[in-house]
Amino acid sequence: MKAEDLKTKTVDELGKLLLDTRKEQFNLRFQRSGGALENTAQMRIARRNIARIKTFLNRKNNVGVSTINKADKKAPVKKAAPKKAPAKKSA
């Protein structure tokens, strides 16, 4: 799965693809536990595809949010340096 493929998909299509990929990952886990999985690299690929799909879902859901938040942010306030405790007098 390539990023270019995911860019063109809608939010609904990405949601369905995420569900399908999670089902695939579930089946791969069962195959691995039963000893039927020959290519264990498929587990890693499925996990990364899920992360990639989630990333694009978040990007599409938060399109207008990032520009609004930038305008609302103010300059950071500098805190005053902590005061030093006065030296104790020896008797």
Task: Give the tens place of pLDDT for each residue, 72-88.
Answer: 566 677 777 777 777 77
Please indicate whether residue 25 or residue 66 has the higher confidence score (pLDDT).
Answer: 25
- Residue 30 C-beta-side C-alpha neighbours within 13 Å: 5
- Residue 3 C-beta-side C-alpha neighbours within 13 Å: 5
What is the pLDDT, as a whole number, of residue 14?
A: 93
CATH number at residue 28: 1.10.287.310
Please tell me the total count of domains within the chain: 1
Host domain of residue 27 = 3-61
Domain assignment present for residue 66? The answer is: no
Distance CA 54, CA 15 (A): 9
Domain assignment present for residue 42? The answer is: yes
pLDDT at 70 over 70: no
Domain assignment present for residue 32? The answer is: yes
